[in-house]
Structure 1
């Protein structure tokens, strides 16, 4: 009922849909705020009625270049849409693991019946304005090396 006929021509630029995964940090955002589409890619050729081959960069060589029309969205030129993919290693599932660099701050939040320790984490490829508050217990379990040299109270 809600099906739209999508057609692209060769040399059009399209965004590629990446699957959101719960708990995976993608492009500096977690959960439903993570982007659903990445970088505009050029269409090289059309295969049948619903498949297109994209010109992918060499960093994405492990990803097959053929995509169904439902995974593509037409790119309307706007400089704010472009995310730098040169610094990001994308795996076969079109996702990547974000690495923390440093713990910037620590605070204890009082919930109804317990105290929760939080740390402000600076992530790789992001500036200090994009640092996020994470649970200290989870960060210590996943990234113990961050807390070896940090002397925070």
Structure 2
């Protein structure tokens, strides 16, 4: 822990004063000895000597009579303020990184929890044939008592030879054995929602292109739960949704009907002759692949 704190201090020191950090290097030791520790409730200097530290025996730096010493003390105070600012930023960054994997867990008495243990060490709690491929958690076990803010006492088996009090980070919520978990969904399960109505349209800029967006109300959902979706993606996933307001023609086939040559009757009753179809577009001849020499291609079929 001491090396980690000093490493953080020196990193901030070098970043703040890249050319003069070695001049103030003894300040790193002084900083650690005069920083309050949560375990001690005070600074290591005060715990060891019983008083607050003084700079060269000077209680009031303002009353210093030496101009050189007074300037040095002012430079030192300015350097401490700068380093303190960098340390606070570094501490906040480390706190944010550590809080990403933390969660607030509170259990009550008579709750059931799973217990995380080292499978190769704790073998008295449960007997397992394969320790390497065993489950990560043991249990569930019943909570007997809450000890402090972050520890709980569990009802372990009688054969267990470990202490029954564990930190909350080693526990996970579990259902009591009296509750049954259904392995099948209910028969009257709700269908997947589809776009039912388009409430609003807008265009957003993405790079150099403009993308249309739609405010869609889904089936069996109130307008307050409407979501913005991309128009093209929505049409691809739901081509026959009621939100489009019209039936969609089935895919495949030509879009124009072929008219056979011959007389055609118009609305006026006159009979005209349809123009014959144009020459048929020649088809490209299929040639064998020259890379496949072992197979003989037959283009007459």
- TM-score band by shorter chain is 0.3 to 0.5
More strand as a share of residues: 1
TM-score normalized by structure 1? 0.43
- Between structures 1 and 2, the one with greater helix share: 2
Normalised by the length of structure 2, the TM-score is 0.23
Larger gyration radius, structure 1 or structure 2: 2
Bigger relative contact order (CA 8 A; separation at least 6): 1
